[in-house]
Each structure stands twice: as C-alpha cells, then as structure tokens.
C-alpha cells in the first residue's frame, strides 16, 4: 500500500516482489558489464563519493571536478550507456504519472559503510517529471526534508523492492542516505541471493529521471 510521506513524496513498500527483484538484479548485472561502475567526484575539490555508480538509458549523470551534468557516454570508456533495464522502465510507466519516458537511470552502488549526504536532484531541465527510485540489497536509512537545507528532516527505512516517487511539491526536497543497515532486511535476504555486483551487505539504488523538457 502506498504511503504519502509528504505531498508528492510517495513510498511504495515492497513494490517489486522477489521475482521482480531477481529479474532487475540480472538486468543491472548486464548493464554493469557494459558500463563498469566508476567513482564520481565532487566538483572543484575532486573529493571522491563514497558511492560508486553507473548509468543506463540515453543519458547518464556524472560528477567530476568540472561539475554535475548529464552526458550520453561513460566518462571512462567513452561508450554510450546501455539500454535501460526493462523492469526499471516498467516501474516508471506504472508510478511516474508523466507522459514522457525517462532518459536516465542512475545506478548507485553502496558498500556497507557508504552514505549520501543531503542534496537536491535539480540538474534536470524538466522538473515537472518526478524521480522514481527502486531499492535492492540491504536496507538503508533514507532522510528527507524540504526545499531548504535548513528545513526539518525525517527518516524512513527503505528495503529491497521498495519504490519511492519524488515529485510534485516534493520534487526539490533535500534527501539522502544516512547509512546502510547491516542485516536489516531479513525477509529479502532469505528470498534473494546477494546481487553479484554488490559486496556482502551492500545496497543498490536506481533513480529514473526525465532530463530534457518537451519541445
């Protein structure tokens, strides 16, 4: 059952069942074989993220000393990004309530000690489209606030198979991942093998985004 955490911020616990999680895991493994994970770096300072990542779809998000941006090719291999996983695309069609398809599927890979600081997803030209997020692997403590960094925050636990839609009035909220919860998702651990592209106790998060505006 969907839970509205805030206007436009909708949590769908267990949206992917065990079979869908395994299917998505296989699709991601295929993407990562063609587009190996890389370590993004902060603009200007070059400080590495604790999260490794890759992308699928026509565009991919990258970050390095030159800044945040979307581009059509892998920053290390120069190859075009692979096609978007079919299971992820189906989630967009079911949950986004937007007439245009996603253009980027970010694949974030969290080792047990990785985190993601509070940030806004605002590098897209089309902010009318939501961000659709899917989780695999270990559970994570997801923190969300408001459009200002100083706004109060709350936290929920995202587990394997959960979907999250960030759109409408919540499209520009600050959000992040405080920590990965070791052994925090016993049900999925019993149903799913560890995704082959994650270390034990790791997490994978996909975010689907529309980047360009309609003409």
Residue by residue, pLDDT tens for the chain (215 residues) are: 899 999 999 999 999 999 999 999 999 999 999 999 999 999 999 999 999 999 999 999 999 999 999 999 999 999 999 999 999 999 999 999 999 999 999 999 999 999 999 999 999 999 999 999 999 999 999 999 999 999 999 999 999 999 999 999 999 999 999 999 976 554 455 566 678 899 999 999 999 999 999 88
Residue 1's alpha-carbon distances to 51, 154, 160, 192, in angstroms, are 30, 20, 15, 22
Domain range 3-209, CATH architecture: Sandwich (2.60)
Query: Following DSSP, what letter does each residue of 25-54 receive, concatenated?
Result: HHHHHHHHHHS--B--B-TTT-PBPSSEEE
Residue corresponding to tokens 């800044």: 67
Q: Let me know: does 39 contact 48? Beta carbons within 8 Å.
A: yes
pTM: 0.94
Domain spans in the chain, listed from the N-terminal domain onward = 3-209
Residues 128 and 124: their CA atoms lie apart, in Å, by: 10
Q: Let me know: does 137 contact 204? Beta carbons within 8 Å.
A: yes
């Amino acid at each position: 059952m969907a839970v509205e955490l805030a206007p436009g911020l909708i949590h769908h616990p267990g949206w992917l069942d065990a079979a869908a999680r395994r299917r998505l895991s296989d699709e991601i493994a295929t993407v990562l074989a063609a587009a190996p994970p890389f370590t993004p770096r902060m603009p200007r300072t070059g400080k590495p993220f604790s999260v490794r990542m890759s992308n699928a779809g026509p565009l991919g998000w990258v970050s390095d000393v030159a800044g945040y941006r979307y581009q059509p090719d892998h920053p290390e291999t120069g190859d075009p990004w692979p096609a978007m996983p079919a299971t992820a695309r189906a989630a967009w069609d079911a949950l986004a309530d937007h007439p245009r398809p996603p253009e980027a599927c970010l694949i974030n890979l969290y080792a047990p000690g990785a985190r993601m600081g509070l940030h806004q997803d605002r590098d897209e030209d089309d902010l009318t489209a939501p961000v659709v997020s899917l989780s695999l692997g270990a559970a994570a403590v997801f923190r969300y606030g408001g459009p200002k960094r100083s706004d109060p925050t709350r936290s929920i636990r995202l587990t394997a198979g959960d979907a999250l839609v960030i759109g409408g009035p919540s499209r520009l909220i600050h959000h992040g991942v405080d920590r990965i919860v070791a052994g925090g998702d016993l049900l999925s651990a019993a149903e799913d093998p560890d995704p082959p592209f994650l270390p034990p106790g790791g997490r994978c998060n996909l975010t689907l985004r529309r980047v360009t505006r309609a003409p």
